Amino acid sequence: MPKFPSAEWFQEVRDVATQNDGLRKLGTCDAVMGVKVGDQAIELTFEAFDLVNIREIQPAELANIDFYLDAPIETWREMLDNIKEHGKADLKHTLNTIDFLEPEGFAKSNDQSRKDLFYRYLQTFQRFFDASAQVETDFATPQPV
Amino acid sequence: MALDPKILEQLRQEPDMPELDLGWLGAQTAPGMAAKPGRRGLTLAEINVGDYGDAPERTDHNTIRIRGSVPSPNAVRIGYFIPNKGDIWSDNSGRIYEEAVQRQWSSATDIPWDTIKPLPDVVEEAICQICTFLTEVEFVAGDAPGRWIGQISPDHFETVLFLITQVVDEARHLDVFRKRALANGCGLLEAGGMGRALRNIMDAKDFSEMSALMHLVGEGFVQTMFRTGEFIATNEAEKTIFQLCAQDESRHVGFGVMHLRYVLEHQPERREEFHSYLDKAEELFGHPTSMNVAFQESLMITLGGGDTDKGLVMLMALQKKQVTEYLHRLKVAGMPERRERLHPGMAMFL
């Protein structure tokens, strides 16, 4: 069972999301998205109709990519548990709703124009995370502060 | 590809046929062109090679000759196009056009309309008031770029293609909000009367002015509003509507940011001109003649889930986000100094 967050977990989600041209049907998506959970960071490169590269990076490198999703592990876990329970995010757990509710936003970037890619390809990213409903997930235990 | 001279001669001398000119044969400007599909298919980027890809800095022929084709001595002028590339260009228009074509959706069949259930009257009416406002806004957002399509040269066709997708997007937005208003027992409510902010867009005399007012100010603010719409959605239908509209709107904003960047890089003398357009737009933010009380109150009701005090706080947060993102986009486009010149009526939200 892959651990969240890890390159292995995202690879499994990618494999589910791209089945039956799942992402292709939504149109092209060209963006480099980061995922930040605590001091862990993953870089996901979406190109054309696929997620073509997944790699673990240092959090400092997030400054160089288009945008990254940043939230405490509790928020990620609630979202992914909700997706698991319903087969996809319900009304209160979509990426965009979380972005609205998080005081500092869920999607972050130094460049608003690159951050807008999150909203431009929202359907693709939502479909991608919704695919995690079919992946067994082991959540990393948060480190005590 | 060369044609066998014998076949040419044979065609010319065919006894039962009028003599053919065939002067057009072999006239291509870049023979041997064989574009290949890339990862995204055969997109404009793949065929924009050699002379075909070079959008001229200036175009004066005023005919319908599309870039890359050979001039015809018999061509008539069909109007006066905007001659300068810099006045209408954005480096991402071809890509955004392709993206828009791929990401089209149907308000008739892609929205799960059956998820809409009866709502408390006040919530239903608030949603319908928001929909009423958005149908008006989207009408203008389609009409305004439509007025410019005929003025852009076929040498700069990428901008035309993008604008056409925007018109289609806005048409769909208009119809989807109209459908939502009529889908659950309420219907359209109070018209906003097309406030001065929208009138400003329609009055623009310059393409860049129109783009600044519409893409950067208007659509930037509406994009944030659409994203917020996902939060106020009471069912999957509304959530889908706002999500899809936010995607579309982000493309339009993306064009505006890149157009402004292109202008500032190639026509730096126009910087102050842009400030004047933004001055005009900003002074109307919150101005009484631009206020749409019905829209704002309906947002407070939906954001607060019926609690208007909570809704007011969230509305203020929304407006802060709109202004913050607007300034960030201008900074990216090359106008970081706008923050210092921001109109007080807008700065109060920061």
Q: If you search the block for the tokens 């089945």, which residue do you land on?
A: A19
Closest CA to B248 of A126, A122, A33: A122
Q: Which chain B residue is nearest to residue A93, measuring alpha carbons?
A: B231
Comparing A27-31, B140-144, B189-193, the range with the smallest average pLDDT is B189-193
Asked if A139 reaches chain B (Cβ–Cβ under 8 Å), the answer is no
Which residue in B102, B236, B246 is closest to A122 by CB distance? B246
Contact B230 A26 (CB under 8 A): no
Rounded distance between C-alpha atoms, residue A48 and residue B326, angstroms:
28
Superfamily of domain A3-137: SCP2 sterol-binding domain (3.30.1050.10)
Q: How far apart are CA B112 and CA B83, in angstroms?
A: 46
> Considering only CA atoms, which of B107, B127, B109, B108 is closest in space to residue B117?
B127
Residue B330, pLDDT > 60, answer: yes
pTM for the complete prediction?
0.92
Closest partner CB to A119 (pick from B39, B227, B257):
B227
Q: Which CATH number fits domain B92-101+115-347: 1.10.620.20, 1.10.1040.10, 1.20.1600.10, 1.10.3720.10?
A: 1.10.620.20
* Per-residue pLDDT at B194: 60
Q: Does the distance separating the beta carbons of A126 and B253 come in below 8 Å?
A: no
For residue B42, give the chain A residue with the closest CA.
A48
- Which pLDDT score is estimated for B290? 65
Find the closest chain B residue to A96 by CA distance. B227
Please state, in angstroms and rounded to a whole number, the distance separating the CA atoms of residues B38 and A116: 25
User: Domain extents for chain A?
Assistant: 3-137
Q: Is the pLDDT of residue B135 over 80?
A: yes
> Which residues of B lie inside 8 Å of A (Cβ-Cβ)?
38-40, 95, 98-99, 102-103, 223, 227-228, 230-231, 233-236, 239, 243-244, 246-247, 249-251, 253-254, 257-258, 325, 328-329, 331-333
- Which token pair is B231? 């939060």
Q: What is the pLDDT of residues B212-244, one digit of tens each?
A: 999 999 999 999 999 999 999 999 999 999 999
pLDDT lower than 50: segments of chain A: none
Answer yes or no: do B239 and A94 touch at CB < 8 A: yes
The DSSP code sequence of B285-345 is TT-TTT--HHHHHHHHHHHTTT-HHHHHHHHHHHHHHHHHHHHHHHHHHT-TTHHHH--HH
Residue range A51-89, pLDDT digits in tens: 999 999 999 999 999 999 999 999 999 999 999 999 999
pLDDT of res. B8: 76
Q: What is the pLDDT of residues B271-322, one digit of tens each?
A: 999 999 999 999 887 666 667 889 999 999 999 988 999 999 999 999 999 9
Q: Are strands A138-139 and A3-4 parallel, antiparallel or unpaired?
A: parallel
Please say whether the beta carbons of B257 and B164 come within 8 A. no
